[in-house]
Structure 1
Amino acid sequence: MRNTTLRLFGVLLLITSACLLFGLPNAQAQADKRCYTNAAGTRCYYLHVPPGPAAGRPLMVYLHGCNDPLNDPQPTGFSLTRVADELGFVLAYPLQDKAANKEGCWNWDKPEHRERGQGEPSLIAGITSTLISEFALDRSRIYLGGYSAGGAMTTNLGVLYPDLYAAIAPMAGAPFRLELGGKVIIDAMGSRARPMPTYFLQTLFDQISNYVIGRTNIAQWLEADNLADPGSAPTLPTGLEVLVVGPGLPIPLTVEHYASQRGCEIAQFTTPLLAEHSLGARIVQDESGIEVQRNLMRFLLAHRLTPPHQTC
């Protein structure tokens, strides 16, 4: 009888979690589709501009994962558009070309897409720079984030273009060039090297980019930060929050804060408990996880672009 009761409790827990994750209404993305071309090819992207003048606003560029519904003819349910309206930033989400990758993945792991001015990084950076110029956006508040393959490509762009992006969010991604340690980042940044404020999200039971990879990612970035500006990043969390289930928080989360003695929070590491890879994507893209998305953007928007070798 005891085992039956425990099994029934487990089933009810799963059903409750599924309802929280999938049962909430989706926000409808109101976005224009555009395309950008350079020597590396063409990539299209959706653009969402909040009501009112765009000049002087921040920009967030979001990179989808493999086989993601965002990479559809007209995506719906991307609730970061609602956060953009609330917090006042312009939002762009580039689309991978299925001709470049049949599963719609960004080619973050290919050598030709790990160099500045080449391949897909040049296309994403080109979209970013075009929007800055066209809308007279705030050049000191340009941000980049993504999930899964989009998270891994975010790392590539953060390393290759530290003079463009003020802070990044490489969620459920991979270490730069699949190497350990921060020196590989600093070497690739070269004279542009600077500490990079970074937001991480890694589900506890991710079966694709597993939790150990997430820990490797943050360790690599913290080491790179300290190589760029000694003392800019702590090696251990300086604060920990536990966020319980509530509106916009479908499952419990832990949030680690990494703040330097200078008062700058250089990193956050968020762990959605009881979740795996695909549910993590829902949390950062759908209405069910909108409070997580707000926390993500609050962290990014708190940072401005700094000169080389200086922290925020």
Structure 2
Amino acid sequence: MRSPTLPRRLVHLATAAALVLAAALTMLSPLAGTARAAGGLEQITGFGSNPGNLSMYAYEPAGLPAGAPLVVAMHGCTQSATDYHTHSGWQKFADAWGFAVVYPQTSSANNSLSCFNWFDPNDDTRGKGEAASVIQMVDHAAAQYGTDRSRIFLTGLSAGGGMTADLLAAYPDVFAGGAVNSGPP
């Protein structure tokens, strides 16, 4: 029987190294061995004056330590915060890496397709409308979860991506970074 070829040996070695690294990272995680919340998406009311007429939903992993990051995840048109939470994978990552997630939600009262109004200066400008509501959510969540304010991130899909770009431009003092997924240019 011939020995495996060099490329095959490298694949086996790389796979073994990846498994060892994954096990080590799991053991080193500050949340290792703690129970995770099942589902756990919570609607939050009273987060501020809410000039953009948005709803706030949040997910907090069990055992979230003080100083953990916060991710704001914005849904696309015709979606809801619940849809995005259920199908985006953010809960899995929040559980694995120890951060809270805030899901702003718009509605057909704001936009007939339930899109964030990333194109409207009354909603996408610092201190106005939907943009101001999202910042009120961030402030509320950061206080509630003891978030490290230098580790607040923002992401969005489609129209949520458009609003993500607007918020990153309008509030560079709030967000450490962000990513637009399938959003407008």
Question: What amino acid maps onto 2:55 in structure 1?
Answer: C
The Cα RMSD (Å) is: 2.0
Structure 2 distance, partners of 1:132, 1:91, is 11
Name which of 82, 105, 111 aligns with 2:121. Answer: 111
Q: Does 1:137 align with 2:133?
A: no
Query: How do 1:155-174 and structure 2 match up within 5 A?
Result: 155-174=165-184
Stretches of structure 2 lacking an aligned partner (at least 5 in a row): 1-37
Question: What amino acid maps onto 1:160 in structure 2?
Answer: A
Structure 2 distance, partners of 1:58, 1:146, is 17
Question: What amino acid maps onto 1:40 in structure 2?
Answer: P
Question: What amino acid maps onto 2:125 in structure 1?
Answer: E
Name which of 51, 54, 72 aligns with 1:40. Answer: 51
| Deviations, residues 175-228 of structure 1 (Å, cap 9, x unaligned) | 4xxxxxxxxxxxxxxxxxxxxxxxxxxxxxxxxxxxxxxxxxxxxxxxxxxxxx
Structure 2 distance, partners of 1:68, 1:54, is 30
Partner of 1:65: 76
Contact 2:64 2:100 in 1 (8 A): no
CA-CA distance at 1:123 after TM superposition? 0.5
Contact 1:49 1:89 in 2 (8 A): yes
CA-CA distance at 1:168 after TM superposition? 0.6
Stretches of structure 1 lacking an aligned partner (at least 5 in a row): 1-27, 176-312
Contact 1:50 1:85 in 2 (8 A): yes
Structure 2 distance, partners of 1:115, 1:41, is 11
Distance 1:71 1:100, change over 3 A: farther
Q: Does 1:81 align with 2:88?
A: no
Contact 2:74 2:81 in 1 (8 A): no
Partner of 2:157: 147
Partner of 1:123: 133
Could you tell me the percent identity over the aligned residues? Answer: 35
How many residue pairs match? The answer is 147
Contact 2:52 2:128 in 1 (8 A): no
Contact 1:71 1:104 in 2 (8 A): no
Partner of 1:286: none
Using the size of structure 2 for normalisation, the TM-score is 0.72
Distance 1:125 1:82, change over 3 A: same
Return structure 1 stretches of 4+ with deviation > 6 angstroms: none
Select the structure with the greater relative contact order (CA < 8 A; seq sep ≥ 6). 2
Structure 1 distance, partners of 2:119, 2:101, is 25
Structure 2 distance, partners of 1:69, 1:94, is 9
Distance 1:38 1:138, change over 3 A: same
Distance 1:86 1:38, change over 3 A: same
